[in-house]
A and B are shown apart, each in its own frame.
Chain A
Amino acid sequence: MTAPAPDDATLTTSGMAAGGGATTLLIACGALAREILALIEANGWTHLDLMCLPAILHNRPDRIPDAVEAAVLKHRPRYDAIHVVYADCGTGGLLARKCADLGVGMLEGPHCYAFFEGNETFLARAEDEFTAFYLTDFLVRQFEAFVWKPLGLDRHPELLPTYFGHYEKLVYQAQTDDPALDARARDCAARMGLAYERRFTGYGDLATALTGWAGESVADTRNL
């Protein structure tokens, strides 16, 4: 059974512990917790459990493969199957290799911004949109923790052109319809000096992948 998602600050720095009592575990980035829990609830996937690593690993992708490995090894004895809900996420293929070595599946694509939009669509658009900076629902809510403060812009706003001088627009990929998040994302764009675009994506390829894994787990259970 999955527990409710902790608040965003906890998901950023600590992640989320597994609930227990299910047969399949999803090991995910904390930035995806709410979306995954929403899909689990909407689809009645009671056989799926979720644990999340700290979302702030997004800013230190070199640490993701080892963190995922530790979580897989820790939880493997208690679950029939484990899936890793990360895309490449800046690991340069190292996470894919780690998951292959561990014998667990992971998401396709370079980043959450790609699979929320749909990897195929995102990559097709990439050639014309490489001056876009992407935010998801989670990243809009955690903009200070993921963008503004780590880049030192709270202390040194003069660095803004160094970081974003070549960007042209901020694309808010909305997973949900939330006017408050839309307003916050628009404010983020204004602070960064970028044009603003809201693009509703829903859960994109995340929903497709989870549906597949949820189906596999059910089939495995029936075959027992």
Chain B
Amino acid sequence: MADDEEDIILSELDDEELVQQMHDDLYDGLKEEIEEGVNILLERGWTPYKILTEALVGGMTIVGVDFRDGILFVPEVLLAANAMKGGMAILKPLLAETGAPTIGRMVIGTVKGDIHDIGQNLVTMMMEGAGFEVKNIGINNPVESYIEACAEFDADILGMSALLTTTMPYMKVVIDALVEQGLRDNYIVLVGGAPLNEEFGKAIGADAYCRDAAVAVETAKAMMARKHNQMAAG
């Protein structure tokens, strides 16, 4: 941001101005300012959930939209994510204490032979911000890791990520294994990664392809709502 904003003292802003400033600071990837803003709002009696949704997720949503529109690029998104992570680290234990609503539980990981985790880490953060509990099992995951993690974590959603043309077919190996073991209907399967597309997602039997973290959150929310409705009807 411009130099003339260097003198802004966050604690002197009213709530509305502070949240707006935190959106700007997230956009600029200013981790320390975000941590300070979170602490100020906590001191003012905001609930952790309200800070998370209005100040942090609200700000990251703007970042996500500008990334999608080609205004922001990967480095800026990573810096923003790092800033949000700073705020989340303060809020996470408090959210657990205050019993914030959980929408669903997700296991996410990059497939076997692939070490790229930037995308899945962003999805993890945005899903947590949206009220999901997420177990991120990291990189290079064989079938067994996914299946074990889903069972242990009692997951509703399985997310798989791949950056390489050579590794993305492994997603089908995982889905086929779920089918063979009679587990496929237990999970909503979401897939993502740079070389994937909607058609690939359909062809391998995933429930949806998500082109970015924001789409993953919206898709997961919609599918969880549908799942609950079906359970209520059934």
C-alpha gap A126/B166 in the complex (Å): 9
Asked if B168 and A92 make an inter-chain contact with CB atoms under 8 angstroms apart, the answer reads: yes
Residue interface bits A113-132, CB-to-B below 8 A is 1, else 0: 01000000001001100110
The proximity string for B residues 149-177 relative to A, scoring 1 for CB distances below 8 Å and 0 otherwise, is: 00000000000000011111000000000
Interface contact A90-B195, CB-CB below 8 Å: yes
Interface size class of A (residues with CB under 8 A): 20 to 34
Closest to B164 in A: A110
A93 in contact with B200 given A110-B164, A152-B76, A159-B78 (CB within 8 Å): yes
- Check B75–A155 contact: CB distance below 8 A: yes
Inter-chain contact A92/B197, CB cutoff 8 Å: yes
Interface segment, one of A135-143, A162-170, A192-200, A212-220 = A162-170
Does B113 lie within 8 Å of A126, measured CB to CB? yes
The answer to whether B46 has its CB under 8 Å from any CB of chain A is no
**A92-B195, A151-B74, A156-B75 are known contacts. Are A130 and B114 too (CB-CB below 8 A)?**
yes
Indicate whether A14 reaches chain B with its CB closer than 8 angstroms: no
- Partner of B78 from the list A61, A162, A166, A167 (CB cut-off 8 Å) is A162
Expressed in whole angstroms, the Cα–Cα distance for A214 and B55 within the complex equals 61
Check B74 against A152 for contact (C-beta < 8 Å): yes
A94 contacts B by Cβ under 8 Å: yes
Residues of B contacting A88 with CB < 8 Å? 165, 195
**Distance in Å from the Cβ of A200 to the closest Cβ of chain B?**
22
| List of A residues within 8 angstroms of B42 by Cβ | none
B68-122 contacts to A, CB under 8 A, are: 73-76, 78-79, 113-118
**Of listed A94, A155, A162, residue having the most chain B CB within 10 A:** A162
Task: Decide if B194 is an interface residue (CB 8 Å cutoff).
Answer: yes
- The answer to the question of B47 belonging to the interface, with a C-beta cut-off of 8 Å to chain A, is no
- Which residues of chain B are near A75, meaning CB under 8 Å? none
**In the complex, what residue of chain B is closest to A110 when comparing beta carbons?**
B165
For the complex, give the distance between the alpha carbons of A159 and B78 in Å: 8
Residue-by-residue, is A143-157 near B (CB-CB < 8 Å gives 1, otherwise 0)?
000000011110110
Q: A34: CB under 8 A from chain B?
A: no
Interface residues of B in 120-140 (CB under 8 A from A): 139-140
Is the CB of A111 closer than 8 A to any CB of chain B?
Answer: yes
Are A152 and B113 in contact, CB atoms less than 8 angstroms apart? no
Closest to A163 in B: B118
**Contact across chains for B118 and A90 when beta carbons are under 8 A apart:** no
A166 touching B139 in the complex, CB below 8 Å, given contacts A61-B195, A93-B200: yes
The reply to whether B165 and A111 form a contact with Cβ atoms under 8 Å apart is yes
Residue B196 lies at the interface, judged by CB distance under 8 Å to chain A: yes
Contacts of A167 in B (CB 8 A): 115
A175: interface (CB < 8 Å): no
- Is A91 in the interface zone, CB < 8 Å from B? yes
Distance A117 CA – B139 CA, assembled complex (angstroms): 25
A110-B166 contact, Cβ under 8 Å, with A151-B75, A159-B75, A166-B139: yes
Given the complex, which residues of A lie within 8 Å of B115, measured CB to CB? 130-131, 166-167
- In the bound assembly, the distance between CA atoms of A94 and B117 in angstroms comes to 23
The answer to whether A94 and B197 touch across the interface, beta carbons within 8 angstroms, is yes
The docked-state distance in angstroms from the alpha carbon of A14 to that of B117 is: 31
Which residues, 36 to 83 on A, are CB-close (under 8 Å) to B? 61
Q: Are A127 and B113 in contact (CB under 8 A)?
A: yes
Closest to B29 in A: A156
Are B166 and A61 in contact (CB-based, < 8 A)?
A: no
Tell me whether B200 and A92 are in contact (CB under 8 A).
yes
Contact among B116, B139, B195 for A91, CB-based, below 8 A: B195
- Give me 11 A-to-B residue pairs in the complex whose CB atoms sit less than 8 angstroms apart, sorted by A's number: A88-B195, A90-B165, A91-B195, A92-B200, A93-B197, A111-B165, A123-B166, A130-B167, A150-B73, A152-B73, A167-B115
Q: A93-B197, A93-B200, A131-B115 are in contact. List 9 more A-B contacts (CB 8 A).
A: A90-B194, A92-B195, A92-B200, A110-B164, A114-B166, A152-B74, A152-B75, A159-B78, A166-B116
